[in-house]
């Protein structure tokens, strides 16, 4: 969001070149090319999808430049599929739970909270409300699903070629409670009973 023009160029121009190349290659009769485009739940105005294949809706106006660029990519890829027959495939990705460092996304609070718990930090300040529920997927599950999506026969895909990735949804409060419960199960006291957790999560709105 700090450099909107650059963000749009990076996200859009690259995809435009790839789609043009795929269409030209197809016209030349070259081997079948699949264009797999990673989109995001940022295309929704509310920041989260429903976990199922979703038709385009006029009221789903992205709230960020990133979301706008991803929505443009979805629409452009669908157009190239319908107009030129390019095998365009798109997955809208939710928050991804992995060991990677957070990169500044809306769902990064989940990874930050888990990393804080792993480091036995006494306090984590969450930047969203405790009841804010967003969709997530574990990285290993995503990679398995992505592989199956890439290998799927073209005839089995929907005409729009854009799919939401569904796995699970959680709020900061849900995750905080799960971390506390897990720490109580895995941190026995000297007497053998479960030790009370000192985990403390603050919510900064």
Question: So which residues are the catalytic ones?
Answer: 66
Q: Transcribe 133-200 into DSSP letters.
A: -EEEEEHHHHHHHHHHHHHS-GGGS-TT-EEE---EEE-HHHHHHHHHHHHHHH-B-TTSSBPPP---
Contact indicator for 12, 69 with CB cutoff of 8 Å? yes
Contact indicator for 26, 131 with CB cutoff of 8 Å? no
CA–CA gap between residue 181 and residue 194 (Å, rounded): 10
Residue 100 is classified by DSSP as S
């Amino acid at each position: 969001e700090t450099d909107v023009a650059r963000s749009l160029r990076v996200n859009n121009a690259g995809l435009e070149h790839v789609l043009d190349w795929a269409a030209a290659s197809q016209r030349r009769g070259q081997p079948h090319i699949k264009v797999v485009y990673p989109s995001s739940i940022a295309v929704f105005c509310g920041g989260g999808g429903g976990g199922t294949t979703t038709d385009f809706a006029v009221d789903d106006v992205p709230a960020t430049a990133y979301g706008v660029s991803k929505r443009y990519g979805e629409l452009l890829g669908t157009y190239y599929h319908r107009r030129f027959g390019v095998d365009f495939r798109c997955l809208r990705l939710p928050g991804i739970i992995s060991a990677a460092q957070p990169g500044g996304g809306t769902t990064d609070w989940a990874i930050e909270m888990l990393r804080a718990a792993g480091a036995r930090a006494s306090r984590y300040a969450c930047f969203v409300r405790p009841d804010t529920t967003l969709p997530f997927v574990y990285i290993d599950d995503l990679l398995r699903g992505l592989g199956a999506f890439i290998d799927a026969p073209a005839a089995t895909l929907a005409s729009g070629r854009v799919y939401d990735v569904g796995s699970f949804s959680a709020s900061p409060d849900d995750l905080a409670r799960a971390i506390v419960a897990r720490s109580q199960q895995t941190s026995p006291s000297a007497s053998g009973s479960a030790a009370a957790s000192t985990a403390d999560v603050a919510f900064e709105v």
